[in-house]
Amino acid sequence: MDLQLDGRTAVVTGASKGIGLAVVRTLLEEGARVLAVSRTSGPELDALAGPDLVHAAEDLTDPQAPARAVARAVEVFGGVDILVNNAGGPPPGVALPRFGFLTPGDRDWVEMFDFNLFSAVRAARAAIPVMLERGGGSVVNVSSGNARRPAPMNVDYNAAKAALSNVSKALSEEFGPRGVRVNTVSPGPVRTPWWTDEGGAADILAAQTGADRQAVLDKVAPEMMGLTTGRLVDPQEVADVVVLLASPRSGSTTGTDVVVDGGFLKQV
């Protein structure tokens, strides 16, 4: 299926690994030009180097970083048609999961919202006027199944993602009539570096459960989270949905949330 992305420009945050890297790769394969935003690059992102890919080294906890990234895309590619707010999860230097409401303090809450909500708000604030000047565009915000499944584990993260989903719906109502579609994708647990890095979620849960990290990744975590598929989600499975929503082929899809979670959410 031709996604009609040839020559369109996308800004993708959290682009150096996991879901963001898969989104960048897929957009390039579909003919888009991509400004990839992350604090640092990495070998997998570097391997995609070419005239249609520019890396912007930005720390999105800096309030000015999202606007600089959008301005860079306009400078290099002439505009912005697609914004994928993928950056999120544990803020720099933080390991998740965290257990219990009383565990995170004020600073933890502020850092979590800054990374998972405010960076996306700032990026949208910068990109949407550029899209309006071009006659329209698409914003895809990567939320989480936890936005709709409150729990005492990672309570600050879950709340930030719930806020992101709420803001996304509001943006879709305001700017949809002017040609800018806004949607969210809500993954379940995805096999990304958040899980697999040393000291990451797999190691934390291994210490809690007495299982080894590989067992956590392959069996314990999917069972704990009630994943119908019996496995963590692959980043490419999320990226495929993100890119479809970004595409003009989804021209009548706005204000929706698409779940890619292996059966994590059980609600009707």
Q: Mapped to the 3 state alphabet, what secondary structure does 154-180 carry?
A: CHHHHHHHHHHHHHHHHHHHHHHHHCE
* d(C-alpha 181, C-alpha 246), whole Å: 9
> Domain for residue 241, yes or no?
yes
> Domain for residue 4, yes or no?
no
- Judged by DSSP in three states, 206 sits in helix
User: Looking at the 3D structure of the chain, how many domains does it have?
Assistant: 2
**How many CA within 13 A on the CB side of residue 135?**
2
Kindly report which listed range (150-154, 174-178, 227-231, 241-245) carries the lowest average pLDDT score: 150-154
Looking at the fold, whether 36 and 160 belong to one and the same domain comes out as yes
pLDDT for the residue numbered 89: 93
- Judged by DSSP in three states, 111 sits in helix
Looking at the fold, whether 24 and 109 belong to one and the same domain comes out as yes
The pLDDT of residue 170 is above 90: yes
pLDDT for the residue numbered 267: 87
The pLDDT of residue 268 is above 90: no
Looking at the fold, whether 180 and 228 belong to one and the same domain comes out as no
Looking at the fold, whether 183 and 252 belong to one and the same domain comes out as yes
> Domain for residue 177, yes or no?
yes
Looking at the fold, whether 178 and 196 belong to one and the same domain comes out as no
Beta strands in the chain, from DSSP E residues, in sequence order: 9-13, 33-38, 53-57, 82-85, 137-142, 180-187, 257-260
- The catalytic site residues sit at 157
Residues 5-29 pLDDT 10s: 999 999 999 999 999 999 999 999 9
pTM of the model: 0.95
Looking at the fold, whether 69 and 163 belong to one and the same domain comes out as yes
CA 158 to each of CA 130, 222, 254: distance values in angstroms, whole numbers, following the listed order: 30, 18, 23
Domain with 228 in it: 191-232
> Whose CA is closest to 31, among 248, 266, 253?
248
> Domain for residue 267, yes or no?
no
pLDDT for the residue numbered 202: 92
* d(C-alpha 258, C-alpha 247), whole Å: 14
Residues 78-120 pLDDT 10s: 999 999 999 999 999 898 899 999 999 999 999 999 999 999 9
Looking at the fold, whether 148 and 58 belong to one and the same domain comes out as yes
The pLDDT of residue 183 is above 90: yes
Looking at the fold, whether 196 and 168 belong to one and the same domain comes out as no
